[in-house]
């Protein structure tokens, strides 16, 4: 006896038919005929036996797997290896920038300390400056009658004494040091190099940082560092040893007055005193062409108006002069102020300022006679396409500049 049709059963059969058709498991017409026969008998399990509905495959599906293949494993390991290599490459780069930032931070601290030390020792008094004249005789800078006392000077006892040891008298009297083919007298060098009334050991102590203490690395990586000491003749430790990697020079230039005022003018006038911190100074002053110039003079062509610095082109006949130019170091720009060129020579003014190189072009291997550099520093007075000069000091990593009055001798001056 046939049972009456259940409405819920009819709805379920319709849904099942549409689902089965979508999955392409049955043909629609055959399925509907089988479904109506099952409903007429009242038996739903005849159409879908127990446990078969969940086994209907989906469109495009594959047999389920319980693992991965060896190829997939190798590809995953290769991708993971690339990521680990990228992470490993970050460690030396990060270490480089950490050392570099520590170097610049220490240089900034040294600049402030050196300025205070110069004032405390009285090294900013003009009577303390000795200059090697053109006749190779030491004279006091103020009392000298030599016509080549230029408007600016550099207090550099280390450079003077080392240049004399290398038999380079021009490097001992001019700053930056003349290199092969330079004639400072004919070219109107704007700065002289002066010494102090001190001996070589005193100059080394006064112009070299003693805070970078020396250590000895142990063979075992888990052992502590070994402290190094300087010893006397009997082998007894006297004081901590230091590397002396940081040294400095002091440049003094005219601020708001004509040339020659440093030596002959009123010392109460303001001067621009710059402490130039140098890391790893080599103190090499070769007389012939050499890639080891510690100081060199290059030509400069102005490429921008110069508000807060700008772009310049460095020019040199000797490609060795343009090697070793690094981003972050400093150079000295100098030249006649164009606003005073039409005045008499006694009233003309030199413009001398230090600038930081914030960007440089790529250094080529051989024969490069020009470099493009972006500078940051004071506004310069020169127009575009003006040709001036620049002084490059290898390892100049920081400059501390202060506008101040020079000291004068008085009854309270400690001699």
Phi/psi at 102 (5° precision): -65, -35
- Classify residue 148 by its DSSP letter: T
For tokens 């690395």, name the residue: 217
Q: CB neighbours of 177 closer than 8 A, spacing ≥ 6?
A: 159, 163, 168, 170, 171, 193, 285, 294, 295, 296
Number of other residues whose CB lies within 10 A of the CB of residue 32 = 16
Number of other residues whose CB lies within 10 A of the CB of residue 189 = 23
Q: Per the structure block, which two tokens stand in for 21? A: 């058709």
Write down the pLDDT at residue 231. Answer: 83
Question: Is pLDDT larger for residue 414 or for residue 207?
Answer: 207
Q: Per the structure block, which two tokens stand in for 402? A: 């202060």
Largest CA distance in the chain: 140
User: How far is 401 from 395, CA to CA, in rounded Å?
Assistant: 17
| Domain edges within the chain | 10-55, 128-209+245-405, 210-243
Q: CB neighbours of 140 closer than 8 A, spacing ≥ 6?
A: 127, 129, 130, 131
Write down the pLDDT at residue 277. Answer: 92
Number of other residues whose CB lies within 10 A of the CB of residue 132 = 21
Q: CB neighbours of 287 closer than 8 A, spacing ≥ 6?
A: 168, 180
Give the residue-averaged pLDDT of 230-257: 82
Secondary structure (DSSP) of 1-36 = -PPPPPHHHHHHHHHHHHHHHHTTSS-HHHHHHHHH
User: How far is 151 from 352, CA to CA, in rounded Å?
Assistant: 10
Instruction: Tell me: pLDDT of 41 over 90.
Output: no
Strand arrangement, sheet containing 152-155:
138-140, 129-132, 191-196, 152-155, 246-254, 270-279, 396-405
Write down the pLDDT at residue 372. Answer: 93
Write down the pLDDT at residue 134. Answer: 74
Percent of the chain with pLDDT over 90: 12
For tokens 């520590």, name the residue: 102
> Among the listed ranges 201-210, 238-247, 306-315, which one has the minimum average pLDDT value?
201-210
Instruction: Tell me: pLDDT of 346 over 70.
Output: no
Q: pLDDT tens digits, residue range 81-121?
A: 998 888 888 887 787 778 777 777 888 888 888 888 888 88
Say how many CA atoms lie within 13 Å of 156 toward its Cβ.
Answer: 33
Q: pLDDT tens digits, residue range 366-413?
A: 778 899 999 999 888 888 878 788 999 988 999 998 888 777 665 444
Instruction: Tell me: pLDDT of 185 over 70.
Output: no
Write down the pLDDT at residue 161. Answer: 86
Instruction: Tell me: pLDDT of 56 over 70.
Output: no
- Judged on CB neighbours under 10 Å (0-12, 13-18, 19+), 324 is middle
Number of other residues whose CB lies within 10 A of the CB of residue 37 = 12
Write down the pLDDT at residue 192. Answer: 84
Write down the pLDDT at residue 375. Answer: 94
pLDDT confidence tier of residue 243, bands split at 50, 70 and 90: confident
Instruction: Tell me: pLDDT of 263 over 80.
Output: no
Question: Is pLDDT larger for residue 415 or for residue 218?
Answer: 218
Decide: 59 and 24 in contact? Cβ < 8 Å.
yes
Instruction: Tell me: pLDDT of 299 over 70.
Output: yes
Q: pLDDT tens digits, residue range 348-358?
A: 777 888 999 99
Instruction: Tell me: pLDDT of 25 over 50.
Output: no
Secondary structure (DSSP) of 43-87 = -STTTS-TT-GGGPPPTT-----SS--HHHHHHHHHHHHHHHHHH
> Quick one: which of 386, 352, 370 has its CA closest to 189?
352
- Judged on CB neighbours under 10 Å (0-12, 13-18, 19+), 287 is middle
């Amino acid at each position: 006896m046939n049972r009456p049709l259940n409405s819920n059963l009819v709805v379920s059969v319709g849904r099942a038919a549409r689902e089965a058709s979508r999955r392409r498991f049955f043909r629609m017409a055959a399925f509907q005929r089988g479904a109506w026969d099952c409903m007429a008998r009242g038996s739903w399990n005849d159409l879908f036996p127990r446990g078969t509905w969940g086994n209907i495959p989906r469109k495009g599906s594959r047999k389920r797997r319980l693992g991965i293949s060896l190829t997939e494993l190798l590809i995953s390991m290769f991708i993971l290896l690339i990521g680990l290599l990228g992470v490993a490459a970050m460690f030396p780069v990060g270490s480089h920038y950490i050392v570099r930032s520590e170097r610049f931070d220490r240089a900034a601290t040294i600049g402030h300390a050196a300025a205070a030390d110069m004032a405390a020792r009285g090294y900013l008094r003009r009577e303390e400056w000795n200059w090697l004249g053109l006749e190779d005789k030491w004279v006091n800078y103020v009392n000298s009658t030599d016509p080549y006392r230029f408007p600016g000077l550099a207090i550099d006892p280390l450079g003077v004494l080392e240049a004399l040891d290398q038999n380079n008298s021009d490097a001992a009297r001019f700053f930056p040091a003349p290199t092969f083919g330079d004639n400072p007298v004919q070219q109107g060098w704007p700065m002289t190099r002066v010494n102090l009334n001190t001996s070589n050991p005193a100059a080394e102590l006064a112009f070299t940082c003693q805070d970078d203490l020396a250590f000895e690395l142990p063979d075992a990586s888990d052992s502590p560092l070994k402290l190094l000491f300087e010893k006397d003749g009997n082998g007894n430790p006297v004081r901590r040893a230091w590397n002396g990697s940081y040294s400095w020079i002091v440049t003094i230039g005219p601020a708001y007055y004509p040339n020659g005022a440093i030596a002959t003018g009123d010392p109460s006038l303001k001067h621009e005193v710059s402490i130039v911190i140098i890391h790893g100074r080599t103190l090499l002053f070769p007389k012939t062409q050499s890639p080891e110039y510690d100081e060199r003079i290059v030509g400069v062509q102005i490429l921008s108006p110069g508000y807060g610095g700008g772009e310049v082109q460095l020019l040199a006949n000797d490609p060795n002069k343009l090697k070793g130019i690094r981003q972050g170091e400093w150079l000295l720009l100098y030249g006649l102020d164009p606003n005073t060129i039409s005045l008499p020579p006694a009233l003309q003014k030199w413009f001398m300022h230090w600038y930081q190189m914030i960007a440089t072009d790529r250094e080529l291997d051989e024969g490069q006679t020009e470099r493009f550099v972006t500078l940051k520093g004071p506004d310069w007075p020169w127009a575009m396409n003006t040709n001036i000069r620049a002084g490059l000091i290898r390892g100049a990593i920081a400059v501390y500049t202060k506008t101040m009055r020079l000291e004068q001798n008085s009854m309270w001056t400690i001699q």
